[in-house]
Amino acid sequence: MSEKVKILLDSDVVIHFIKGGCLSLLPDILPAYQFAILDIVLDMELRKHPQTCTQIDNHLRILKNIEVLCWNPDYEMMYEYNVLAQTLGVGESASMIYCKYHPNVLASSNLRDIKDYCEHNQITYLSTMDLLYLACHRKVMTEQECDEFITDVLRQGSKLPVRRLSLFTPRAEVLSL
């Protein structure tokens, strides 16, 4: 049996799904994939947010539907990480490098920071909105539930590009997952 391809979560997507009350739905949206997070993202970014600690810990220890991966870069990866980390966050930098050297999918909503790097290095990437679109398209959530998710996330101070799912157009790459 071959191992599932991983969807490597950056902190912003985890925080959005916690604020939207739907973190537990991630595995249902893309059941052919294993959701994972790098330990460096967990320790240096998510544990800074008290509201995320309890929920993410529940998913890691009780539900066991998000795997924690050890960030153990070799010299080449560390060099590239240090270059990226000068202008980008810890999570984006480590996650992009990890996905470059491991055939995984990146889940990050910092598209301005990740898009060029991912496209240049042929890394498939998903945003929170891509995941919401897939949740609706695959009938994991209704359009109304997706709109409520968006409203909740925006009300709690996070940024998303649209206020309703019907205003979002996914990239062709997303539709093929």
- The per-residue pLDDT for 62 is 60
pTM recorded for the entire structure? 0.92
The kind and range of the H/E element at 16 are helix 11-19
Bridge partners for 35 per DSSP: 7
Task: Give the pLDDT mean for 10-25.
Answer: 93
Q: On the CB side of 73, how many CA atoms lie within 13 Å of its CA?
A: 20
pLDDT surpasses 70 at 2: no
Confidence of residue 59 (pLDDT cuts 50, 70, 90): low
Cα(110)–Cα(130) distance, integer angstroms = 13
pLDDT in tens, 63-98: 677 889 999 999 999 999 999 999 998 999 999 999
SS (H, E, C) 48-84: HCHHHHHHHHHHHHHHCCCEEECCCCCHHHHHHHHHH
| Cα dihedral across residues 96, 11, 108, 82: positive or negative | negative
Render pLDDT for 133-159 as a digit per residue (tens, 0 to 9): 999 999 999 999 999 999 999 999 999
